[in-house]
Structure 1
Amino acid sequence: MSGLVHTIQFVFGILGNAASLFLFLVPTYTFKRIIKNKSTEQFSGIPYVMAFFNCLLTAWYGLPFITSNNILVTTINGTGATIELIYVLIFLLYAPNKQKRKMILAIFVLVLVAFAAAAVISVLVFHGKNRELFCGIASTVFSIVMYAAPLSIIRLVITTKSVEYMPFLLSFAAILSCTSWFIYAILGMDPYIGISTGVGLTLGIVQLILYFCYCDKKILNKKTFAVEESQQNMDNGHSNDVNLYLP
């Protein structure tokens, strides 16, 4: 890789770190809501478990004894793993018992068993390019699974015709992050990062399209609710100023 290409790749790696950190921090709004209401409502905790697992695998893939010149991949995914673990713990605190059981099972199987097995096998069984191949495939597969996790939310959006449980910032941040890392992968000729972020970019665009298709429905539903509430108050002999243009 020439010096100029390496420099450009490094720049996109820095941009990818910034965009990914933004992506990891976007759900803080969701978790503020969960903590405030002391309920996980219809939010799913599985995507955060998947994100935690994926961050561990990708951070492992970026280590110098697996691949070269990918330390930026390790730093941001190590940070992401810490953030996602905090989200998972908060979710476990407020989730119903049924959801807790599913998440605990997912954490045990994915994190404790699958990641430990992948790490041990990669060190003891594979060497050189074969180790990179094994870790790259594992990271790619579970990155795609992580990016596909919001498909359940996409189904919910289509069913309810509401984007309440698919925050705009999350989809937008995913596109920024995947775009930066996709270019980083192309410049570094890394097919593993390129394939996973390419899939993530595609699904992010789909979510953004759905958001713009159904965001007006959310506003319309709020207006309708406000009108009905106002009419009910008038019928009951009460006066109440209702803002019909809620955001």
Structure 2
Amino acid sequence: MVGVGTAENIVGIVGIITNIALFLSPIPTFITISKKKKAAGFKPDPYVATVLNCAMWVYYGLCPDGSLLVIIINTFGLGIELIYIGIFFLYSPWNRRRNILLALLIELVFMAALVALCRSFALVETLCIILNIVMYTSPLTIMGRVIQTKSVKYMPLYLSLAMFLNGITWAVYALLKFKPFVLVPNGLGALLGLVQLILYATYYKTTKLDEPENPMLNSPKLKAETLN
């Protein structure tokens, strides 16, 4: 019979793999954006949120009770997310570029203030939990568009699947020795990933992937959302 410690190590290794898969899962989306040379319809929100999340976990890893593995994984994630945002920036209109730059500037100021002023490991840990939740909830804007348009054209399937698998793996890891600070954000991430997969299955048949743009995007409200 496998002991709790062994099970924890096995699930931890699986969690590392799903973490890497989560970071790499949007690649098909960015290949599409690069080929079309436009990011219209896609949302940068999850990637901007993940930048701050990764930066926070790198800082957490650098703390006295941190982990080199946490630093390595999240440094890798930070680099990948910045590449994604760079592609968004390259193929977006100026108003969206402005919003991305503003969001990144706010994140930079936040991190600089945290490093300069915070000396509490418990606070850093709490902020990491909060930002994990923000990262997992950031696709809610995409989910809203899917329901409005009844189309999953702009919902990245692999990102939703990776989010679900990553969330459920780390939730199981947390349950083995009951670590609430790991369980709460990742349990929520698994739930939101599952909701996205259900939405994808629900609206996949009504999605016309070969259309240049979804007709519902012609409404003033959705046009404004696309440009932001």
**TM exceeding 0.5:** yes
Q: 1:117 aligned to 102, 113, 120, which one?
A: 113
Deviation at 1:64, TM superposition (A): 5.6
Q: Quick one: distance in 2 between partners of 1:98 and 1:36?
A: 22
Deviation at 1:177, TM superposition (A): 0.8
- For the aligned residue pairs, the C-alpha RMSD in angstroms reads 2.0
Pair 1:36 & 2:32 matched: no
Pair 1:193 & 2:143 matched: no
Query: Which amino acid counterpart does residue 16 of structure 1 have in structure 2?
Result: G
Partner of 1:88: 85
Q: 2:103 aligned to 100, 106, 109, which one?
A: 106
* Partners of 2:153 and 2:209 within 8 A in 1: no
Q: Quick one: distance in 2 between partners of 1:134 and 1:80?
A: 22
Query: Which amino acid counterpart does residue 113 of structure 2 have in structure 1?
Result: A
Gaps of 5+ in 1: 226-247
- How much identity, in percent, do the aligned residues show? 39
Aligned length: 210
Partner of 1:238: none
* Partners of 2:37 and 2:91 within 8 A in 1: yes
Q: 2:126 aligned to 104, 113, 137, which one?
A: 137
Q: Quick one: distance in 1 between partners of 2:3 and 2:82?
A: 37
Pair 1:212 & 2:201 matched: yes
Larger Rg: 1
User: CA distance change for structure 1 residues 33 and 222 in 2, over 3 Å: closer, same or farther?
Assistant: closer
* Partners of 1:64 and 1:71 within 8 A in 2: no
Q: Quick one: distance in 2 between partners of 1:207 and 1:105?
A: 28
Partner of 1:230: none
Deviating beyond 4 angstroms after TM superposition, the runs of 4 or more aligned structure 1 residues are none
Q: Quick one: distance in 2 between partners of 1:46 and 1:82?
A: 16
Deviation at 1:48, TM superposition (A): 0.8
Partner of 2:59: 60
C-alpha offsets along residues 84-108 of structure 1, whole Å, 9 cap, x if unaligned?
1111112111111000000000001
C-alpha offsets along residues 168-225 of structure 1, whole Å, 9 cap, x if unaligned?
222111111111111222335432222111111111111111111111111xx469x8
User: CA distance change for structure 1 residues 180 and 52 in 2, over 3 Å: closer, same or farther?
Assistant: same
User: CA distance change for structure 1 residues 58 and 27 in 2, over 3 Å: closer, same or farther?
Assistant: same
User: CA distance change for structure 1 residues 222 and 204 in 2, over 3 Å: closer, same or farther?
Assistant: closer
Pair 1:13 & 2:12 matched: yes
Q: Quick one: distance in 1 between partners of 2:192 and 2:41?
A: 21
Query: Which amino acid counterpart does residue 163 of structure 1 have in structure 2?
Result: V
Gaps of 5+ in 2: 212-228
